[in-house]
Amino acid sequence: MGFSIHNGRRDDEPMAQINVTPFVDVVLVLLIIFMITAGMFDFGLPIDVPNTREVAASPEDYPFVNITAEGGVFYNTEPIAPKDLAARVLSDSNFTWSEGHKPGIYLRAHKTVPWEVISPIVQACGREKIEVSMVTKPLEKNAPQ
């Protein structure tokens, strides 16, 4: 002898409830996968920056200026002429430069780029009062110096 509870619905009616537990399980697994793989990806252009002693991280949100090993200059990932860089930084609508937030850039240059390529960019930014922060990799703890 068996019985079933119909809750006032017929057997041929579709169930109006969904089971959320499997959905939540899948979402959590995907979240964990994305969290693990996000740290493995480097953004932008492949630039091997020089190694230096560890310095404090900057809390500022600045655009990146990338200089490739061949000497190509990029504003984030968009090619740009060095003479147009300062105007592009100051006119960027993604960044609002206010009294408490000075304009600035993060300069990522490949370690083989000569200073003659980097210095005009630093000089042009200095003329426009744009702060330049160089991006480097920290030295390994046990590496010979």
Q: Which residue has the higher pLDDT, 49 or 36?
A: 36
Residue 142 reports pLDDT greater than 50: no
Residue listed under structure tokens 């490739």: 68
Give me the mean pLDDT over the 34-51 stretch.
68
Beta bridge partners of 94: none
Beta bridge partners of 51: 137
Question: Is residue 7 assigned to a domain?
Answer: no
For residue 50, what are its two tokens? Answer: 């020089």
Separation between Cα atoms, residue 87 and residue 125, nearest integer Å? 9
Question: Is residue 128 assigned to a domain?
Answer: yes
Give me the phi and psi of 98, to 5 degrees please: -115, -175
pLDDT in tens, 78-109: 999 888 888 888 888 777 666 667 788 888 88
Residue 48 reports pLDDT greater than 90: no
Average pLDDT of the chain to the nearest whole number: 77
Question: Is residue 43 assigned to a domain?
Answer: no
Residue 141 reports pLDDT greater than 60: no
The answer to which of 9-23, 51-65, 98-112, 113-127 has the lowest mean pLDDT is 51-65
- Between the alpha carbon of residue 136 and those of residues 52, 84, 105, the distances in Å are 6, 24, 14
**Residues of the domain holding 85:** 51-138
Question: Is residue 6 assigned to a domain?
Answer: no
How many domains in the chain? Answer: 1
Separation between Cα atoms, residue 96 and residue 103, nearest integer Å? 8
Residue 55 reports pLDDT greater than 60: no
Question: Is residue 112 assigned to a domain?
Answer: yes
Separation between Cα atoms, residue 99 and residue 95, nearest integer Å? 13
Long-range contacts of 109-113 (CB under 8 A, 24+ apart): 109/47, 109/49, 109/66, 109/67, 109/134, 110/47, 110/48, 110/49, 110/67, 110/68, 110/69, 111/48, 111/49, 111/50, 112/48, 112/69, 113/67, 113/68, 113/69, 113/71
Residue 50 reports pLDDT greater than 90: no
Determine the pLDDT at residue 27.
94
pLDDT in tens, 3-42: 555 566 666 666 667 788 888 999 999 999 888 877 666 5
